[in-house]
Amino acid sequence: MKLTELKATDLIKGYENRDFSCEEVVREYLKNIDEKEKEINAYVTVMAEDAIESAKKVDEKYQNREELGILAGIPVGVKDNIAVKNVKMTCSSKMLENFVVPYDSVVSERLKKEDSVIIGKTNMDEFAMGATTKTSYFGVSKNPLDTSLVAGGSSGGSAAALGAEECALAVGTDTGGSTRQPASFCGLVGIKPTYGSVPRYGISTMANTFDQVGSFGKDVEDAYLLLKALSGKDKRDATSTGNISLTDNIDFSNDEKAVEYLKDLKIAIPQMYIDMNLNSRVKDDFNKAIDVFKEKGAQIEIVEMDSIKNVIETYHILTNGEIASNMARFDSLRYGHRTKEYDTYEEMFKKSRSEGFGDEVKRRIMIGTHILSLDLAEDYYYKALKVRTLIKEEYEKIFKDFNMVLCPTVPVLPFKIDEEMSPVEMYQADLFTIPANMTGSPAISIPMPKLDGLSVGIELTGRRFKDQEIIKAALGFERSVK
Ligand code: GLN
C-alpha cells in the first residue's frame, strides 16, 4: 500500500510505531502533487519547502519523545480563503492574486499547534461563491473520481486534493454547503459543525451569519479528528462559542459498537424531499440509506416542513446582502488588485473592482446592493430575515421530537465540467445543504458505497451544539454500509 493511501489516523499509528517518517510521507504526497496537479488543479499554492521543514520538525519531536499534537505529521490542504501567515491567500480571485497575508488565522494557528503539516492552499470558487470551482480565477478543479466532472464547490480544491491523495485531511468553509457538497461529489466525508464552533478569525468572510469552517476526511473518524483540532472558542471571533462539547469518547475501533449508535435514533425526513423529482441514482441511494437506518434500529418518520421550500431564495437574499457589504472592503486602496491607469480615485475604485472581480462575485454584489437599498430593504431583506426565523423555528420544533433530519446531500450527481448552467440552475443544487447554515445546525455528508466509480452523499443535519450526535450516527451508518 502506498503511504498516501493511508488515512490520517493510520498515518499517526505508523509514526508511533516508527514504520515510516513524516518526511517520507510528505515527500510521497509532494510526488503525488507533482504528478497529478496538471490534471486535477486542486491547489493554488503548493508549500513544498515549508511542508518538508515542518515534517522534519515533527520527526525530531518523535525522536526526542516530545509531546505531540493530535494532528502530528498529517499533511493538510487549507482552502485559500483561510489565512496562513506569510503565504499567498488569493480566495481564487484576481483581486488577491498576489496578496501575501501577514498573520495566521485561528485555524492555521491550531493546525500548527497540533503539529500538522500544511502542504498547500486549495482552489475554490472565487470568494467561495459557487458550487463547481468554475468561478475560480485559477481554473476549475477536476473530480479525482472522474476528471470530466467538477469536484464541487466552493471548497472543490480541498475535496479534490484529498480525493487525489494530494493531502490526508483538508479544511474547507461552508456558507451554504461548500464542504458537504464537494465531499459528496468526491466520495468523502465532510462536516459543517454548529455555527460558531470553529473561530472565523483570519478567514475571508463571505456571509458572516452563515459561514463556518468545514472538515474533510476520507472517513468519519478522520474528519472528526480534524474538527476536534479546530473547534473551540477564541476571543478574536465574537461569534465563536465554546459550547460544542466534543467530550464523549467515540469508539472508532469497533464496527459492532458503531452500528449500535443507530439504534433508537429518531430521524425525520421532510415530505417535500420524498415528493421531489430527484436524480434517479440519488433517489435509489437515498432509499437504500433509509433502509439501512431502519434495519439498524433507527425510527424514521416523514414530517411536514413547509418552510424549507423557501430556503434557496431566502439564502440568496440574505447572503447577497452580507456579501455586498463584505466585498466593499476590496477598494484597491489598502490591498488587492489596483488598476494601472486612472485619473480620479473614483475611477480607480471602479476600474480596480471591475477588473479584479469575476462575474459571479459582481452578480452577487449587485443583487445585494439592490436589495439593501433604502426603498427595497423592507420588501426583500427584512422579509427574508423573517422567513429565516420561521425556518429556524420549524427546525427547532422538529428537533424537539427528533435527533436529526436525513436527506441526500445534493439532489444531482456531479456536474460535467463542460455543462453550461445558468446561475439559478446551479443555486438549485444547494437545496439540501442550505438549511444547516440558515439555522446554525451541524451537518455531515457521508458517502454511499461507490457504483460505476461514483458515490452519492447522504446528509444528516442535527441539533445545534450536538455535533457528536450526528457524527456518531454517521459513523454507525458508515460501518453499516462498508
Ligand atoms: N453553492 C453555494 C453558493 O454558491 C454555497 C457556497 C458556500 O457554501 N460557500 O452560495
Interval 167-200: pLDDT, tens: 999 999 999 999 999 999 999 999 999 999 999 9
pLDDT of residue 248: 82
Q: 458-479 as b/e, with b when 16 or more CB fall inside 10 Å?
A: bbbbbbbbbbbbbbbbbbbbbb
pTM of this prediction? 0.98
Atom of ligand 1 nearest to the CA of 316: 10
pLDDT in tens, the chain (482 residues): 899 999 999 999 999 999 999 999 999 999 999 999 999 999 999 999 999 999 999 999 999 999 999 999 999 999 999 999 999 999 999 999 999 999 999 999 999 999 999 999 999 999 999 999 999 999 999 999 999 999 999 999 999 999 999 999 999 999 999 999 999 999 999 999 999 999 999 999 999 999 999 999 999 999 999 999 999 999 999 999 977 778 788 999 999 999 999 999 999 999 999 999 999 999 999 999 999 999 999 999 999 999 999 999 999 999 999 999 999 999 999 899 999 999 999 999 999 999 999 999 999 999 999 999 988 999 999 999 999 999 999 999 999 999 999 999 999 999 999 999 999 989 999 999 999 999 999 999 999 999 999 999 999 999 999 999 999 999 999 999 98
Domains of the chain: 1-292+405-482 (3.90.1300.10)
Ligand 1 geometric centre to CA of 156 (Å): 11
Q: Is 175 in the pocket of ligand 1 (CB under 6 A)?
A: yes
Grid-cell match 482552489, residue found: 123
CA 124 to chain centre: 10
Contact assessment for residue 322 and residue 208, using Cβ atoms and an 8 Å cutoff: yes
In eight-state DSSP terms, residue 106 is: H
User: Which residues are within 8 A (CB) of 163 and not within 5 positions of it... i.e. 6 or more apart?
Assistant: 143, 144, 145, 151, 186, 187, 188
Q: Is 430 in the pocket of ligand 1 (CB under 6 A)?
A: yes
Q: Is 87 in the pocket of ligand 1 (CB under 6 A)?
A: no
Q: Is 177 in the pocket of ligand 1 (CB under 6 A)?
A: yes
* 44, 249, 336, 358 from 137: Cα distances, Å: 10, 43, 14, 8
Length reported for the chain: 482
On the 0-12 / 13-18 / 19+ scale of CB atoms within 10 A, 69 is middle
Alpha-carbon dihedral 396, 177, 482, 12, rounded to 10 degrees: -110
Q: Is 206 in the pocket of ligand 1 (CB under 6 A)?
A: yes
pLDDT of residue 249: 87
Atom of ligand 1 nearest to the CA of 153: 1
* Residue 184 annotated among the catalytic residues of the structure: no
Nearest residue to 431 via CA among 340, 345, 315, 264: 315
Alpha-carbon dihedral 436, 439, 441, 444, rounded to 10 degrees: 0
Catalytic-labelled residue, pool 79, 121, 218, 466: 79
pLDDT of residue 1: 86
User: Which residues are within 8 A (CB) of 466 and not within 5 positions of it... i.e. 6 or more apart?
Assistant: 194, 403, 442
% of the chain surpassing 90 pLDDT: 96
Give the model confidence (pLDDT) of 342-354 as tens digits: 999 999 999 999 9
Number of Cβ within 10 Å of residue 96's Cβ equals 24
Catalytic-labelled residue, pool 136, 141, 154, 445: 154
pLDDT of residue 468: 96
Q: How many distinct helices (H) and strands (E) make up the chain? A: 17, 15
pLDDT of residue 435: 98
Q: Is 172 in the pocket of ligand 1 (CB under 6 A)?
A: no
Ligand 1 geometric centre to CA of 279 (Å): 21
Q: Is 203 in the pocket of ligand 1 (CB under 6 A)?
A: no
Atom of ligand 1 nearest to the CA of 175: 8
* Residue 178 annotated among the catalytic residues of the structure: yes
pLDDT of residue 242: 75
d(CA 438, CA 481): 30
Give the model confidence (pLDDT) of 359-417 as tens digits: 999 999 999 999 999 889 999 999 999 999 999 999 999 999 999 999 999 999 999 99
* Residue 134 annotated among the catalytic residues of the structure: no
